[in-house]
């Protein structure tokens, strides 16, 4: 006997095969064909199976947040399985589209919303679904995923480019086509084919800043890239944009520089200038500007516009008219980041009496990790400094109009204002002069100052002679690495009005470019062994200067020197010492000087190791305090208990199914 289920024709049980007849078999098949096959949940979820009652029927688009899509009709079930308009409007996916503009502070808007509508309310034409293009999804994801990461939100599952979007060979459409056409019309008269960049002289939110940096790197991918060096207390990316003719790689003998802005959150001009600088470098390189071509082809530039994005938000919430002198200065832990670095200057002063003490590469004392609350922003920048062979650096501040250079801590603790030079005083003065002289008013005696008197000094000053403080970033750069950092005080107003942004850009553009060019000064070269292999960590010493620098990973080095005659020596553990007499004429900016060292029996350097605690330079965060702080708390049953991000409240209070797919990890 044959049993044929009227609702599930694929179950046919044969009880007696001898009783089969052609007539009964045909009857069974006819019954199966007359009853529709059920859709599996997986098929319904991706819109590949519909019952007769659900045959695609185009209906008018009536969803409020999808009214501006480039089509007028949609259908349900949609691509991800919502069976009706009401079903969609009660879901977390549609709720996300309604609040995404606020969550991302306007970044990637309306791109994300239009892309989401193309999946949740897909285009319907001739009673069939038209799927959006995979290429459209990938383009938006590349430009916008960092904005989700900045608020600790995962990329939405329904914007999975591989699952819900198709290629052009399958007849896809671009849901952003009309948006792009409008943008092209708006910029047709001023974009010059996309080569020029329009600088918006307004303040940018953190999300807008991230977007500009990402888009700039996407516009010039052959010379730039972005990367994060860490996160702020509140989880915002410390995003860097890099420029080089070989981005992402260190080129042999190519010096590296860094520019840092917004260390104090309420000192905002430097942040804006560095955003403009990144855009300018990209567009001018594409235009063929010879100065910019030369800078980028010979130098690796790293730009961190905001070291304190949390503090900036506090300052920006008040605005320039109401911002006090200190509102937003500190980070979210109320720590002044320019007092949060290890105080290596005191170690330098205390150990000057040692005959063979050198001031370069002083290790971070363990007491710093034990006794200090180390801000995550400070930690990230310290690791950054240790990871790249930076030669020079500038930190952009506000509140005065002057260039300050190390040391920032007075050599006499009781003296608040005392001239306290480094062994490289003349080098620092030259770096400071380079910026100040290229600025139209900084070194001018007639320029109105902010209270201090720097006009007679040409707009530059020794930091400790201005005012003394410990734990500064510039002193740390000099004493812990090869990097020479100056502090650029851009003006009296820490938070100038937007009307001042364009004039300030004009005043500082050439000074920034001149400073970057000044890295090509002194000597550079490669320290090799007899087989031509570069020697990492070899020490470069100059007679008469108690400050050494070391070679990078491949044995290359850069030593800033002023014109004159210098005796340069190179030493490395396990190798013989070598010295050369170098003449640097004024008409030659940089000279190449290579060294070849011979292998010798390895012996410890008594001059070095007789000084306590100077053999632990490689030890960084020895107690793993940042790793410990990042460990997740476990509940009673061993499950992870993690604090939900701030935006979770948008969804949890409405009684809808919790969108755990938006949580990272």
Q: Give burial (CB, 10 Å; 0-12/13-18/19+) of 499.
A: exposed
How far is it, in rounded angstroms, from Cα 587 to Cα 83?
Answer: 77
Q: Do 469 and 376 touch, CB atoms closer than 8 A?
A: no
Is the Cα dihedral 322, 327, 331, 333 positive or negative?
negative
What is the predicted pLDDT for the residue at 455? 64
pLDDT band, residue 320 (cuts 50/70/90): confident
Helices (H), 46-153: 85-89, 92-103, 111-120, 134-150
Q: Do 265 and 396 touch, CB atoms closer than 8 A?
A: no
Q: Is the pLDDT of residue 614 over 80?
A: no
**127-167 tens-digit pLDDT:** 999 999 999 999 898 878 877 877 778 999 999 999 999 99
**344-376 tens-digit pLDDT:** 999 999 887 776 777 889 999 999 999 999 999
Is the Cα dihedral 244, 248, 254, 255 positive or negative?
positive
Q: Is the pLDDT of residue 7 over 60?
A: no
Q: Is the pLDDT of residue 323 over 70?
A: no
Query: Which two three-digit tokens encode residue 94?
Result: 């549609």
Three-state secondary structure of 491-533: ECCCCCCHHHHHHHHHHHHHHHHHHHHCCCCEEEEEEEECCCC
Q: Is the pLDDT of residue 241 over 80?
A: yes
Looking at every residue in the chain, the average pLDDT score rounds to: 84
Phi, psi angle pair for 507, to nearest 5°: -70, -30
Among the options 242, 284, 400, 489, which is catalytic? Answer: 489
How far is it, in rounded angstroms, from Cα 579 to Cα 582?
Answer: 10
pTM, two decimal places = 0.73
**46-98 tens-digit pLDDT:** 444 444 445 789 999 999 999 999 999 999 999 999 999 999 999 999 999 99
Residue at token pair 């403009």: 276
Residue at token pair 């808007």: 109
Query: Which two three-digit tokens encode residue 429?
Result: 């003065």
Compare 185 and 235 and report the one with higher pLDDT.
Answer: 235
Q: Is the pLDDT of residue 246 over 90?
A: yes
Query: Which two three-digit tokens encode residue 40?
Result: 């599996």
Percent of all residues in the chain with a pLDDT value above 70, rounded to a whole number: 81
pLDDT band, residue 300 (cuts 50/70/90): very high
What is the predicted pLDDT for the residue at 616? 75
Q: Do 94 and 65 touch, CB atoms closer than 8 A?
A: yes
Residues 6+ apart with CB under 8 A from 405: 428, 429, 431, 432, 460, 461, 462, 463, 474, 486, 487
Q: Which of 504, 485, 514 is nearest to 307 (CA)?
A: 485
Query: Is 510 part of the annotated catalytic residue set?
Result: no
Q: What angle do CA 364, 368, 373 make, to 5 degrees?
A: 135
How far is it, in rounded angstroms, from Cα 616 to Cα 480?
Answer: 12
Compare 370 and 622 and report the one with higher pLDDT.
Answer: 370
Within 27-179, strands assigned E span: 59-60, 73-74, 123-125, 128-130
Percent of all residues in the chain with a pLDDT value above 90, rounded to a whole number: 62
């Amino acid at each position: 006997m044959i049993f044929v289920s009227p609702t599930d024709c694929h179950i046919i049980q044969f009880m007696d095969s001898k009783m089969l007849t052609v007539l009964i078999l045909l009857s069974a098949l006819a019954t199966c064909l007359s009853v529709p096959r059920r859709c599996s949940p997986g098929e319904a979820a991706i819109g590949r199976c519909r019952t007769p009652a659900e045959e695609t029927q185009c209906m008018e688009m009536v969803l409020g947040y999808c009214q501006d899509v480039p089509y007028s009709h949609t259908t349900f079930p949609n691509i991800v399985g919502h069976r009706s308009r009401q079903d969609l409007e009660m879901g977390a996916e549609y709720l996300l589209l309604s609040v995404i503009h606020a969550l991302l502070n306007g970044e990637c808007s309306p791109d994300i919303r239009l892309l989401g509508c193309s999946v949740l309310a897909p285009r319907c034409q001739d009673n069939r679904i038209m799927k959006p293009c995979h290429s459209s999804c990938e383009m938006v994801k590349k430009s916008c995923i960092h904005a989700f990461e900045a608020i600790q939100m995962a990329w939405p599952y329904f914007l999975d480019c591989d699952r819900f979007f198709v290629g052009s060979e399958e007849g896809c459409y671009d849901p952003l086509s009309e948006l792009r056409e409008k943008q092209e019309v708006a910029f047709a008269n001023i974009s010059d084919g996309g080569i020029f960049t329009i600088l918006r002289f307004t303040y940018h939110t953190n999300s807008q800043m991230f977007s500009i940096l990402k888009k700039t790197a996407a516009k010039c991918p052959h010379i730039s890239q972005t990367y994060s060096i860490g996160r702020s207390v509140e989880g915002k990316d410390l995003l860097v944009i890099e420029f080089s003719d070989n981005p992402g790689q260190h080129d042999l003998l190519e010096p590296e520089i860094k520019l840092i802005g917004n260390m104090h959150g309420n000192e905002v001009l430097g942040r804006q200038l560095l955003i403009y600088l990144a855009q300018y470098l990209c567009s001018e390189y594409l235009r063929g500007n010879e100065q910019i071509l030369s800078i980028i082809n010979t130098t690796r530039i790293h730009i961190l516009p905001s070291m304190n994005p949390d503090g900036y938000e506090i300052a920006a919430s008040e605005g320039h008219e109401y911002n006090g002198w200190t509102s937003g200065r500190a980070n979210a832990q109320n720590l002044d980041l320019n007092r949060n670095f290890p105080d290596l200057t005191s170690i330098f002063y205390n150990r000057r009496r040692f005959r063979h003490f050198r001031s370069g590469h002083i290790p971070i004392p363990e007491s710093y990790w034990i006794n200090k609350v180390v801000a995550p922003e400070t930690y990230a920048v310290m690791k950054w400094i240790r990871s790249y062979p930076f030669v020079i650096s500038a930190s952009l501040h506000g509140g005065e109009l002057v260039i300050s250079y190390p040391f920032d801590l007075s050599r006499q603790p009781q003296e608040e204002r005392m001239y306290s030079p480094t062994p490289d005083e003349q080098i620092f003065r030259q770096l400071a002069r380079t910026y100040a002289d290229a600025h139209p008013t900084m070194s001018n005696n007639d320029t109105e100052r902010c209270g201090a008197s720097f006009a007679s000094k040409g707009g530059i000053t020794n930091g400790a002679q201005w005012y003394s403080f410990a734990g500064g970033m510039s002193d740390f750069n000099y004493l812990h690495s090869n990097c020479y950092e100056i502090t650029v005080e851009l003006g009296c107003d820490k938070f100038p009005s937007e009307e001042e942004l364009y004039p300030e850009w004009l005043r500082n553009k050439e000074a920034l470019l001149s400073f970057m060019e000044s890295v090509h000064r002194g000597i550079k070269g490669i320290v090799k062994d007899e087989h031509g292999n570069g020697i990492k960590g070899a020490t470069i010493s100059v007679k008469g200067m108690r400050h050494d620098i070391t070679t990078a990973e491949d044995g290359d080095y850069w030593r800033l020197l002023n014109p004159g005659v210098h005796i340069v020596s190179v030493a490395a553990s396990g190798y013989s010492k070598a010295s050369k007499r170098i003449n640097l004429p004024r008409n030659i900016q940089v000279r190449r000087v290579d060294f070849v060292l011979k292998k010798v029996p390895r012996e410890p350097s008594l001059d070095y190791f007789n000084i306590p605690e100077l053999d632990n330079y490689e030890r960084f965060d020895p107690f793993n305090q940042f790793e410990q702080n990042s460990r997740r708390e476990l509940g009673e049953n061993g499950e992870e208990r993690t604090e939900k991000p701030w935006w979770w409240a948008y969804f949890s209070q409405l009684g809808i199914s919790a969108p755990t797919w938006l949580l990272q990890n």
